[in-house]
Structures are given as C-alpha cells and as structure tokens.
Chains A and B, each alone.
Chain A
Amino acid sequence: MSTLTRLVGGAALITLATTVVLGLGLPPTQEQGDYVRLIAIHPPLAWASYLSFGVTALASAAYLLPRTRARRWDHIAGASAEVGVVFTALTLITGSIWGRPTWGVWWVWDARLTLTALMLFLFLGYLALRRVGGDPDTNAKRSAIAALLAVTVVPIDHFAVQWWRTLHQRQSLTLTPKENLDGNYIAVMLLGFVAITLTYAWLTMHRFRVERAMDEAGDRSLDAAIAERRAEAGAATTTTAVGR
C-alpha cells in the first residue's frame, strides 16, 4: 500500500511539474491572451471533481448494500468527497480567474457555473454530516444515504439551471473553444488530466488512511478504556479480598 502510494505520489509530482512547465510555456493566443494557459489545469480540475463525487457515490452504494458492507467503503467515500470539495473549489477559483479578463466579470450565472456551485454546497453539507460524530456505523450509513441523495440531486440541478439560463436567452459560454486551439494546447491539457487524476488518487489514498487510522484510534481508545476499567475493578476486588 505504501509503495503504491509513493509511486502514485511520485508520478503525480512529475506529471504535475511537467504540466506546469509546459503549460506556462504555451504561447498566448489572440483572444484569450496569457489566460489561455489555464486550460492546462481548469478542465482537469473539473473532471477530477466529478470523478471524486462519482467515487463517493459508488463507495456509498457499496456500503449500503448488505453484501459488500465494510467500513472501508465509508472511508473511501469520505476521503474522496473531501478531495472532491477541494477540487471543486479550485475549479471555481481558476474559472473565475479566467472569466474576469475573458468575460469581464468574475462570475456569470451560467448553467454550468451555477451547477458547480450548487454541487460544492451539496458536498460541503455531506462533509458536515460526516463530522457530527456518534456511533460510527450509524454515522456511516447516514452519510452513505446523504451521499446517494446528493448525487441524485446533481442531474435535477443540472436540468433546472440549464433551463433557468436558456429558456429566455441562449447564452453559450464555452470555456474551451477547441477549434481555435492547436494541438499543443490540447496535448498539455491531456497531460494536465493525467497529472490531476494522479494527484486526486494520491490525496485520496492519504485521506483514506487518515480516516481509517482515526476509526481505529476510536476503537482502540474504547478498548483501552474498557481494559483499564476492568483492571481497576479487578484490583478493587483483590484489595477487598486481602482486606478480608
């Protein structure tokens, strides 16, 4: 496990560094100027956030099915959602940085942007629910239900915001006008996809381990407390026996 994590981490570092170097080396374009370089990380970040919430949903479903129920699915769901929230926030931030010079505003109420913001809040709620404490099994089950609910909301939100923006005026804001870009941009973006996906995997592996360790620590401290109490009770009986 740890060798694999190290390998993934190393690969993530190398690809990420290459993306940064090659991405910053891309020539500015006529329409988008220097900001076109964000293409190397913005679409990959958006993809990773979808991927992470997909993994959370699958892991939650696996936890809820009695045949595959195991605490590790809950750990995976939580770890992936945490990384996903970070990536969603980064998607919105990099998008805003790109939008300001290109559209003239930091934020527009475009369908995709609105949906991404709603998704961020949905999963922030999910993470808050995970943190409420209490019995780990109850908590895991409740969180799994909430994750599945949140994922089913995404398509509804998708249709709602799409219609909301397009019923009256059609506004087509495409972040990547691919026809204008030559192969270099696409190549760096694809490298970015690999780099960000590896980074996602690496971060999730680490978060997964932390989740598991926290769970184990909880169990162990309970066991230790019980053992201590028993020892105390045992000592008390011995003293009474000696006293008698």
Chain B
Amino acid sequence: MWRDAALMAGKDLRIEARSRVATNQIAPFGVLVLVLFAFALDPDRGVLQRAAPGLFWVAVLFASLLAVQRSFAVESADSARDGLRLSGLDPAGIFLGKAGAVALQLLALELLLGVFVVLLYDADVHRAVIVMATAAAATVGLAAAGVVYGMLAAGLRVRETLLPLLLLPVVAPVLLAATRATEAALDITPVSDAWPWVRLLSVFAVIYTTFGVLAFETLLEEA
C-alpha cells in the first residue's frame, strides 16, 4: 500500500512539476484572494490584522478546491482513470498517494500565502510551533476529505459546480478550528486555546484518512 502510495504521489507531483498548473494558476489565485480580501475590508482600520487567520484559511480552502479538481482532472484525460483501475495498484494506496500529493502542494501554498499574510496584512506570528502543528493537521484533513469528495464527483458532467457544494460544508470544521488555533498563534486569543483546536483538526484528519483508505475501492469502482 505504501509503495503504491509513493508511486501515485510521485506521478501526481511530477505532472504538477511539468505542467506548472499549481505554480502558475493555483498559487497566484490564492494570493489574489488575499488581495481581494484587502479590497473588501478597508485595509487601514486594523480589520485585516484581526481577521488575518480566518482570511488565510478561507484562501487556503478555495485553493484546495482547485487543487482537488486538478488532481482528478489529470485522471480524466485519455481515460486515465480506467488505466488507474486496471493498474492493479492498491486502492488505499491510490487514495493515500493522491491525498499526499494534494497535501504537499497545499503545504507549499500555505507557506507562500503565509508570507503574503505577514507582508500584506501585517500579521505577527508569535508561536511558530502552533502554526506548524495547525497547518500540518489541517492540511492532512483538507487533502483527505478533498480526495474522497473529489473521487465521488469525478466523472460527473457537473463536477466543477458540484464539488464546492459537497466539500465546503464538510471542511467547515477545518476552517473554524484552524482559524481559532492560528488566532492563538498570532496572540489574538490566549495561547491555551490553541491545542483543543489542533486536536479537533487531528481527529478530522484521522477520520477522513481512515474513511478514504476503507472506502476508496468502492469509490474507484463507481466513478
């Protein structure tokens, strides 16, 4: 399973490295969302600084939708999905590989957006450990849930419009928890508030990863 996962993740990341969709489209989109938030909320009043954690995670959420859609778009051309089904790879491995590739891309994106949040929103990161723990747990959860729902919607004609409706209510807890934990890391709220949220993020990540490992075979057959 792990070997198949590494194979799958390597393939997806190689496609992204060569096609440059993630770097040329998804990353600029994330930064653009941050800039648009600044337009919407008057940047002079300190609103941005206070809302920075929430805005950061909303931008990540939007970008993760694109990343998930991209992850399945590469399988739709030339009946690559049928090839995947016939490849004999372990379905759980395919799931872990796809989720791993999405997670790595999201982590890179979060790093980039984090830099922009510090630069554009004047946010001060006081506790890097909390930020890293939050980002790790939230990213695994987002990637796992995203790939489960991405697979559910893959192969449908309306997948581009359906995926946000399916996925966003599901990852709402990630937005709530990650925002609250990041607020604590930025000293907006007391630091003791952070860890329960990181725990919730970890529980979310574990549940969706387990579900994906168990159910991906059925999902792969049906799509």
Q: A168 to B215, alpha carbons, bound, how many Å?
A: 37
Answer yes or no: A164 CB below 8 A from chain B CBs.
yes
What residues of chain A have their CB less than 8 Å away from a CB belonging to chain B? 118, 121-122, 124-126, 128-129, 132, 134, 138, 141-142, 145-146, 149-150, 152-153, 156-157, 159-161, 163-164, 167-168
Are B172 and A149 in contact (CB-based, < 8 A)?
no
Q: Chain B 158-201 against A: per-residue CB contact (8 Å), 1 yes, 0 no? A: 10001001101110110011001000000001000100110010
Answer yes or no: B95 CB below 8 A from chain A CBs.
no
Are B156 and A156 in contact (CB-based, < 8 A)?
no
If over half of B's interface residues share one DSSP class (helix, strand or loop), that class is named, otherwise mixed; here it is helix
Are A160 and B169 in contact (CB-based, < 8 A)?
no
From A122, A163, A167, B169 is in contact (CB under 8 Å) with A122
State how many angstroms separate the Cβ of B218 from the closest Cβ of chain A. 7
* B149, B165, B204, B211 — most chain A CB neighbours (10 Å): B165
Are B152 and A125 in contact (CB-based, < 8 A)?
no
Residue of A nearest to B174 (CB): A160
Are A132 and B170 in contact (CB-based, < 8 A)?
no
**Given A142-B152, A146-B166, A152–B158 Cβ distance below 8 Å?**
no
**Given A129-B166, A156-B203, A167-B193, A141–B218 Cβ distance below 8 Å?**
yes
State how many angstroms separate the Cβ of A135 from the closest Cβ of chain B. 9
Answer yes or no: B157 CB below 8 A from chain A CBs.
yes
Are B218 and A125 in contact (CB-based, < 8 A)?
no
Are A141 and B200 in contact (CB-based, < 8 A)?
no
Are A160 and B173 in contact (CB-based, < 8 A)?
yes
Are B193 and A118 in contact (CB-based, < 8 A)?
no
From A129, A142, A153, A161, B176 is in contact (CB under 8 Å) with A161
State how many angstroms separate the Cβ of B50 from the closest Cβ of chain A. 14
Answer yes or no: B33 CB below 8 A from chain A CBs.
no
- 13 A-B contact pairs sorted by A residue (CB < 8 Å): A132-B157, A132-B162, A134-B156, A142-B152, A149-B149, A149-B170, A152-B207, A153-B170, A153-B173, A157-B172, A163-B177, A163-B197, A168-B189
Q: A163 to B203, alpha carbons, bound, how many Å?
A: 14
4 new A-B contacts at CB < 8 Å, known A128-B165, A152-B207, A163-B200: A153-B169, A156-B200, A159-B200, A167-B196
From A122, A128, A141, A157, B162 is in contact (CB under 8 Å) with A128
Q: A129 to B149, alpha carbons, bound, how many Å?
A: 11
If over half of A's interface residues share one DSSP class (helix, strand or loop), that class is named, otherwise mixed; here it is helix
From A121, A138, A167, B222 is in contact (CB under 8 Å) with A138
State how many angstroms separate the Cβ of B91 from the closest Cβ of chain A. 14
- By Cβ-Cβ distance, the 9 closest A-B pairs, closest first, are A160-B173, A121-B169, A125-B166, A125-B165, A122-B169, A164-B176, A160-B176, A132-B156, A118-B169
Answer yes or no: B120 CB below 8 A from chain A CBs.
no
**Residue numbers in B under 8 Å from A146 (CB-CB):** 152, 166
Are B173 and A157 in contact (CB-based, < 8 A)?
yes
Residue of B nearest to A119 (CB): B169
**Residue numbers in A under 8 Å from B168 (CB-CB):** 121
Are A124 and B196 in contact (CB-based, < 8 A)?
no
Answer yes or no: B103 CB below 8 A from chain A CBs.
no
Q: A138 to B156, alpha carbons, bound, how many Å?
A: 11
Query: Which residues 195-223 of B have a CB within 8 angstroms of A?
Result: 196-197, 200, 203-204, 207, 211, 215, 218-219, 222-223
**Given A125-B165, A149-B211, A160–B152 Cβ distance below 8 Å?**
no
Answer yes or no: B148 CB below 8 A from chain A CBs.
yes
**Residue numbers in B under 8 Å from A149 (CB-CB):** 148-149, 152, 170, 211
Are A160 and B219 in contact (CB-based, < 8 A)?
no
Are A145 and B169 in contact (CB-based, < 8 A)?
no
Q: A115 to B33, alpha carbons, bound, how many Å?
A: 26
